[in-house]
Amino acid sequence: GNSVTQMEGPVTLSEEAFLTINCTYTATGYPSLFWYVQYPGEGLQLLLKATKADDKGSNKGFEATYRKETTSFHLEKGSVQVSDSAVYFCALSDRGNQGGKLIFGQGTELSVKP
């Protein structure tokens, strides 16, 4: 079945450090890929998405490239801020499933220190 695997957290970085959160997936067909962010006490917010191979999603300085050959969608940011502290979820939606439901990874907690 379809699944998403993320690197385990927590990840602790100093402000202005480079961030990478690894995400790999298993899916039949050609899924769409997403990164969602969850700030403390809040719901999930879409951070970025990519709907086909080699697409790059970007938002708020975060980027992720859909790599079909390595079945990966790693999240990167060149310079993190304290306000980026949150839990990040990688997810996929099976294009072949008309329902479009999301399947999530387990989440990676990011803590950025001043």
Name the residues that contact another protein, by CB under 8 A. 4, 31-32, 36, 42-46, 49, 51, 89, 91, 93-95, 97-107
Q: How many CA atoms lie within 13 A of 93 on its CB side?
A: 15
Question: How far are the Cα atoms of 15, 22, 89 from residue 3, in angstroms, in the given order?
Answer: 32, 14, 13
- Per the CB < 8 A criterion, the answer to whether 48 and 57 are in contact is yes
Omega before residue 114 within 30° of 0, cis = no
Q: How far is the CB of 70 from another protein (least distance, A)?
A: 20
Q: List alpha helices for 32-105, DSSP H.
A: none
Q: Which is nearer to another protein, 10 or 78 (CB)?
A: 10
- Give me the least distance between CB of 46 and another protein, in Å please: 6
Residue 103 Cβ vs another protein, minimum distance, rounded to whole Å = 8
Lookup: tokens for 1: 């079945």
Under DSSP, is residue 16 helix (H, G, I), strand (E, B) or coil? Answer: coil
In angstroms, what is the minimal distance from the CB of 76 to another protein?
Answer: 20
